[in-house]
Amino acid sequence: MSAVPGIETVLIANRGEIAVRIARTLRSLAIRSVVAHHRVDRNGPAVRAADAGVEIHAAEPLAAYLDAEQIAAAARRVGADALHPGYGFLAENAAFAETVAKAGVRFIGPPPTVMRLMGDKIAARRFAAERGFQVAPAVLEEDDPRGFLEGARRLGLPLLVKPSAGGGGKGIVRVSSPEELEPALARARAEAARYFADARLYVERFVERPRHVEVQILADRHGTCLHLFERECSVQRRFQKLVEETPAPGLPDELRAALCREAVGIARAARYEGAGTVEFVLSPSGEFFFLEMNTRLQVEHPVTELVTGLDLVAEQVRVAAGEPLRFGQQDVRSSGCAIECRICAEDADDGFLPTTGEVLLLREPAGPGVRFDAGLAEGRAVTADFDSLLAKLVVHGATRDEAIRRAREALRETAILGVVTNQAFLARVLAHPAFARGELHTGFLTEHAADLAPRGLDDEHRLALVVAAALAHPAFRERVLSVPEPQRWIGAWRN
């Protein structure tokens, strides 16, 4: 019998590590899980982790996971009481949530009206500003389409061009000189239309050396709205996060409390329900501005789970079933430090270009405080059809130093062969003295690019690699190590 009355079966409308992670929690709640999957994922880890799978069809794999009508129909077909969207794909699409509801299935997330309000970056900024919350200076295209370009110029440099419906860093373009502005607008508009089917933009004043700090929110439909503390997300490449941690290092207690209060205030004003994240940009002076709200589970939610002991997916399911939160703000405690490293199929030493290949060998790390969320398996192809994220290595330690040490050890223990990943680069980030000191900002990787570049091999190590490669080649071993005729027939005879 399900531990959550009213929810016996959940359709997981996602793939990869997040689908595996959701299925794991559903099993702990005695809830049947069904994964909607394209044929390329038919034998993948997500389908194996769930109780069942239902195929969704499209010529291109990505199109299947973006087909709202087909996914809602699949949920109804398998008898799902609820649907969990994970993150990415349709997770923040209000029209999708409405389609799911029309199919008679609960959407595990906030109401569509709230998703539409807070998922639209322009609408969310206006909403926050009108209620007295601090937002970064910006020019909104829909306020004055004719004067948008000139308004952006008056805002001053540097600037960030952002899509209204954006997420995951896609479509964000930095502008450092006047001549870059118009090409940046064209590029951002094209990416916004491609990824989000919404070409609306806004331009925001860029804060120099900012930190990206977010607050995890949890709210029920009975009026309770809590924070589960903050996460530091400043280590980024191309505006996409690579390393996240909690608590944010070096943050004064009063500033930490102010961020959490502001986040709860924004979520409560929006009448938010479920798990969500309020994101802020923090200046070196300690001034902070509301950036956006993500109306879904974040990729980096495991670090919050490790320090609080809460299962955010389980809480999402309970809230969706109409249950009140079983604890208050005073009951939420943070213990120790947690760090997440995003292991991606990309070449960090060649501009973070995506890579592809077949997973020939997978060895997962283990040990105290180590968690490895992955949607990988040996023999699986890593293609360019989806995001480059392969796995999340998450560690917990009593102190930040211990968490860093465990993360570095776990990265050394992790083996993924057959596709180039950013593991070595992540290890260099964690080993950098500035990271150890907590001197983080969104330009960290650029500022320390020279230190984070791979070191060249000396002659001894180069020779050792050549020898290892030769000994690993079957033809070489056969030629060098095998005994030729007729000597092999002599056996153990000696003269």
Q: Are 33 and 22 in contact (CB under 8 A)?
A: yes
Query: Would the CATH topology of 9-108 be identical to that of 211-452?
Result: no
Does the pLDDT at position 464 exceed 90?
no
Does the pLDDT at position 100 exceed 60?
yes
CATH class label, 137-205: alpha beta
Look at residue 480 in the predicted model and tell me its pLDDT. Answer: 64
What is the CA 90 to chain-centroid distance, rounded? 15
> Could you give the count of Cα atoms lying within 13 Å of 79 in the half-sphere of its Cβ?
6
**Tens digits of residue pLDDT in 144-172:** 888 888 888 888 888 889 888 766 677 88
Signed CA dihedral, 270, 275, 281, 287: sign only: positive
Name the nearest CA neighbour of 195 among 177, 211, 178, 172. 172
Does the pLDDT at position 406 exceed 90?
yes
Name the nearest CA neighbour of 427 among 409, 451, 444. 409
Partner residues linked to 394 by β-bridges: 340, 371
CA distances, 432 to each of 62, 448, 452 (Å): 37, 9, 8
Taking the C-alpha atoms of residue 240 and residue 221, their distance in angstroms, rounded to an integer, is 32
Name the nearest CA neighbour of 81 among 56, 55, 107, 102. 107
Look at residue 36 in the predicted model and tell me its pLDDT. Answer: 98
Q: Calculate helix-pair angle for 16-28, 312-320, nearest 10 degrees.
A: 70
Look at residue 28 in the predicted model and tell me its pLDDT. Answer: 98
Q: Is the pTM of this model over 0.85?
A: yes
Does the pLDDT at position 474 exceed 80?
no
* CATH for 9-108 (3.30.429.10, 3.30.565.10, 3.40.50.20, 3.20.20.70): 3.40.50.20
Mean pLDDT across the chain = 92
Residue for token pair 């943050």:
251
**Tens digits of residue pLDDT in 175-228:** 989 899 988 988 988 888 877 778 888 898 888 899 999 999 999 999 999 999
Look at residue 303 in the predicted model and tell me its pLDDT. Answer: 98
Q: What percentage of the chain carries pLDDT values higher than 70?
A: 93
Q: Are 395 and 339 in contact (CB under 8 A)?
A: yes
Q: Are 284 and 209 in contact (CB under 8 A)?
A: yes
Mean pLDDT for the stretch of residues 293-302: 97
Backbone φ and ψ of 357, nearest 5°: 155, -175
CB atoms within 10 A of CB 430: 19
Q: What percentage of the chain carries pLDDT values higher than 90?
A: 75
Name the nearest CA neighbour of 239 among 184, 199, 285. 184
Partner residues linked to 363 by β-bridges: 415
Residue 486: band (very low, low, confident or very high) from pLDDT cuts 50, 70, 90? low
Residue for token pair 């030493």:
349
* Range in 133-137, 272-276, 331-335, 344-348 the model is least confident about: 133-137
* Range in 185-199, 372-386, 402-416 the model is least confident about: 185-199
CATH code for the domain defined by 211-452: 3.30.470.20
CB atoms within 10 A of CB 184: 21
Residue 119: band (very low, low, confident or very high) from pLDDT cuts 50, 70, 90? confident
Look at residue 489 in the predicted model and tell me its pLDDT. Answer: 59
Domain residue ranges in the chain: 9-108, 137-205, 211-452
Does the pLDDT at position 473 exceed 80?
no
Helix (H, G, I), strand (E, B) or coil at 395: strand
Q: Calculate helix-pair angle for 423-431, 400-413, nearest 10 degrees.
A: 150
Look at residue 382 in the predicted model and tell me its pLDDT. Answer: 96
Helix (H, G, I), strand (E, B) or coil at 280: strand
Taking the C-alpha atoms of residue 217 and residue 272, their distance in angstroms, rounded to an integer, is 9
Residue 454 class from Cβ within 10 Å (0-12 exposed, 13-18 middle, 19+ buried)? exposed
Strand runs (DSSP E) across 74-210, as ranges?
Answer: 82-84, 106-107, 138-140, 159-163, 173-175, 201-205
Mean pLDDT for the stretch of residues 12-38: 98
Look at residue 424 in the predicted model and tell me its pLDDT. Answer: 97
Helix (H, G, I), strand (E, B) or coil at 393: strand
Does the pLDDT at position 316 exceed 80?
yes
